[in-house]
Amino acid sequence: MFDMGFEPQVMKILKNVRPQRQTVLFSATFPKQMEALARKVLRRPLEITVGGRSVVCEDVKQIVEVREDATKFVRLLEILGNYFMEDKEGKALIFVDRQEAADNLLRDLIRRSYLCMSLHGGKDQTDRESTISDFKSGVTQIVIATSVAARGLDVKGLGLVINYECPNHLEDYVHRVGRTGRAGQKGTAYTFVTPDQDRYAVEVAKALKISGQDVPPDLAALVTGFQEKVKSGQVKFFGSGGFGGKGLEQLDKERDLTYGDDAEEASEDEEGAKAAKNAEVDAKAKTPAETKEKAEGPHDNGPASPGKPPATPKTPVNAALAQAQAAAAAIQLKAANPAAAKAQSLIAELNAQIASAGVGTGKGKEGKLVPGTSPYSYEFEINDYPQKARWKATNKENISQVIESTGAAITTRGIYVEPGKPIPPGERKLYLIIEGEEQEIVDRAKAEIKRILTEATVSAMEQEVKTGGRYSVV
């Protein structure tokens, strides 16, 4: 559930369970992201590791083929024909990436006289249980599934796994392939990789190397080509994916029917947040002394009445301004040196930017309403804050605390753009989308984010003052 993007739901369930509980967590793979989530819900856990982490069993023969989309189905028929000629009672599991792809492949195989069933999250629980039961009992010998069947499925006699669509990260590959070769039995796993899936080929090649199997030459060439693209700056690679997702697709469709097709996701996009964070780490950290930070007040999504006076500035923002001014005065008193003067000027500029942004006037660029799933929303640009402040504002734990305390939905969008560099086409600077059912909810969340940014900015500047140096020119 963590891996498939249901972390918020799982965390809410665990928070409502009595503290005097016994929690047991099993996972065939245990990457760093998963370990961090596990330690958030476990108290002084006892960890038992059997074998290696994210390693395919040695009883599984892994075969990876690089081929075009047009040739995959013919090759699939060839593999199934040879397999069932050798073992008429055998069972095969075929993995695809989407629910529609599973249903389409099911239709095509039935037309070729292969009796099979599909298994994915778009089906009712009763249908899924019936499919698994028929698969285990031998009523059907072929099941086409999404990654929902990659975990916890143990079927005797399952000797063939085919990744018709290449998995997008290492852990998903290990789980899929691990459906065969269980309990000492031998198994075979085929994986189809298309030439345009060179990003995923890196993860597949890594899995082959870890498990001690040879990497095919065409796959190695695909990996080498992608690495050259990364070195030349054509693409960016953020390592193993997963642990993101957006839940079930039918929920998105129902939401689109209710709020419109252009509704933004209310839940946090983990993959986008990770990409933004990595981009920040890769870029050089600079204090935005020459850039302007835009942070306008929230707007009502409802229609504006004629003659309505502009809203007055909100108290939390005024408090943030006062806090920043007090911090500047304190730094000036504590350190009478050039570094202190520099810190004071930076904080003063930050206050001027906040004051000039038109807080509460409804005229700011970021304060404009954006299409979302809630009636009230607000865009908060954080790109030009110091690196420490950006990290605090996008830190998953801090965001979760703000969401829990205010009830708002906060999503990280955009990419980090270094000061002075052009914004890539089709992209925006790093910003947060704050959404809520009421204007007060959005205001509270915005004030809390502003507090986190202000405290982190002041802390970074104070640290710069303290580490200024032992000597000064007289």
The domains of the chain, with CATH numbers, are 60-232 (3.40.50.300), 255-298+311-466 (no CATH)
Could you say which residues of the chain have pLDDT below 70? 1-5, 28-29, 31, 51-54, 237-374, 464-474
- Given this model, what pLDDT does residue 386 score? 87
Assign 3-class secondary structure to the chain. CCCCCCHHHHHHHHHCCCCCCCCCCCCCCCCHHHHHHHHHHCCCCCCCCCCCCCCCCCCEEEEEEECCHHHHHHHHHHHHHHHHHHCCCCEEEEECCCHHHHHHHHHHHHHCCCCEEEECCCCCHHHHHHHHHHHHHCCCCEEEECHHHCCCCCCCCEEEEEECCCCCCHHHHHHHHCCCCCCCCCEEEEEEECCCCHHHHHHHHHHHHHCCCCCCHHHHHHHHHHHHHHHHCCCCCCCCCCCCCCCCHHHHHHHHHHHCCCCCCCCCCHHHHHHHHHHHHHCCCCCCCCCCCCCCCCCCCCCCCCCCCCCCCCHHHHHHHHHHHHHHHHHHHHCCCHHHHHHHHHHHHHHHHHHHCCCCCCCCCCCCCCCCCCCEEEEEECCCCCHHHHHHHHCHHHHHHHHHHHCCEEEEECECCCCCCCCCCCCCECEEEEEECCHHHHHHHHHHHHHHHHHHHHHHHHHHHHCCCCCCCC
Q: Could you give the CA distance from residue 430 to residue 244 in angstroms, rounded to a whole number?
A: 19
- The pTM (predicted TM-score) of the whole model is 0.47
- Given this model, what pLDDT does residue 210 score? 87
- Given this model, what pLDDT does residue 36 score? 77
- Given this model, what pLDDT does residue 105 score? 94
- Given this model, what pLDDT does residue 406 score? 85
Q: Bridge-partner residues for 92, per DSSP? A: 142, 160
Interstrand relation of 376-381 and 431-436 (parallel, antiparallel or unpaired): antiparallel
